[in-house]
Structure 1
Amino acid sequence: MHHPTENPWQISSEKEIYDNPWINVTEYQVINPAGKPGIYGKLHYKNLAIGILPLDEDMNTYLVGQYRFVLDQYSWEMPEGGGPLRTDPLESAKRELLEETGLKAGEWTEIQRMHLSNSVSDELAIIYIARGLQQFDPEPEDTEQLIINKVPFIKAYEMVQNGEITDSLTVAAILKARLMQLENRL
């Protein structure tokens, strides 16, 4: 019997299926924990997922609306994006916040690290709360057609509760921040 922290999977072989600047897909021939042969696919992300929950002095936040190609639907989210693995995640967060909202923050607090789909990918997300906000001009990427919506934080929480916000990073950030608020840690 393996110790719970030891890897019970045995890799027989691996084959790269797909690779681009953002992701890599590898298929593994494996012996599973029950000792039987099988396959396992792994989606490797070449960037960190970075999310920023900006909160102003009046407890408003800024949601970013955009049409998500993969979902084929419109999505309301906090400012978020990718950060190169070898770059300080906070620097990536600062860049994303300015890019998508035109905001710069004087105070940053990391509130969450999480894996987004640990059954098929290794994507790691880091979420920050940004405070002490100053407004500048947004600098969106060519792929982004964004609408910025300043809303009371409690309204964003209600949007999570009623399913209007479904983006996992945003849901996690808003629920964590609400818990912190209720515990007087925000």
Structure 2
Amino acid sequence: MEDLPIEENPWKVVSGKEVYDNPWINVTAYEVINPSGGNGIYGKVHFKNRAIGVVAMDENNQLFLVGQYRFPLERYSWELPEGGGPLNEAALSAAKRELLEETGLVANNWQEFLTMDLSNSVTDEQATVFLATGLSQKEAAPEPTEKLQIIRKSFSQVFDLVMAGKITDSITVAAILKLKAMGYS
């Protein structure tokens, strides 16, 4: 596979000031000289965790979806089991924990198949997505702030929901489309 060309950073930072910080994110306001040479501003949201997604697929190509109300969106969302893992924690370790917490599932087989930048115009948040198979059911232990529903749908049903715009979560959409391109159905 051919590499893509890479250019040097054309942005110059004049100053930066932290304007918000909590256990999950940090927001910095920058004064910059933009690529065209003009003065400007830029706000950056730094994520203190990596986003984790898990496609939990059983032996019949059934996927587990998690439903929950998403505060920033002000609406309900169906998505893969997802969560965050500290940047200094192995992504696989975080994925195993999130899958167990949200669904009670444990997987024997794990395959990392997708990494992506989630909103690279304003954040540095990265996501890692795994395919988990060889599933067995244990007891779920969601975080106290989570009120979750779990459903199981065939891969083709989930793909159809993505294509119909009924599932819009970025990690879920990207993972399902990539798996489809890899030959899953």
Q: What SS does the corresponding residue of 2:107 show, helix, strand or coil? A: strand
Q: How does 1:20-99 map to 2 (within 5 A)?
A: 20-99=22-101
2:159 alignment partner in structure 1: 157
Corresponding letter in the other structure for 1:95: R
- Residue 179 of structure 1, CA deviation: 1.2
Q: Give, in whole Å, the separation in 1 of the partners of 2:165 and 2:37.
A: 41
1:136 alignment partner in structure 2: 138
- Residue 180 of structure 1, CA deviation: 1.1
Q: Identity, % of aligned pairs?
A: 57
Runs of 5+ consecutive residues of structure 1 not aligned to the other structure: none
Runs of 5+ consecutive residues of structure 2 not aligned to the other structure: none
Q: How many residues are aligned here?
A: 181
Runs of 4+ in 1 over 2 A off after TM superposition: none
Corresponding letter in the other structure for 1:25: V
2:114 alignment partner in structure 1: 112
Q: Give, in whole Å, the separation in 2 of the partners of 1:59 and 1:98.
A: 19
Q: Give, in whole Å, the separation in 1 of the partners of 2:16 and 2:41.
A: 9
Q: Aligned in 2, Cα 1:4/1:177: closer, same or farther, shift over 3 Å?
A: closer
- Residue 4 of structure 1, CA deviation: 4.9
- Please give the TM-score of this superposition, normalised by the length of structure 1: 0.95
- Residue 112 of structure 1, CA deviation: 0.5
- Please give the TM-score of this superposition, normalised by the length of structure 2: 0.95
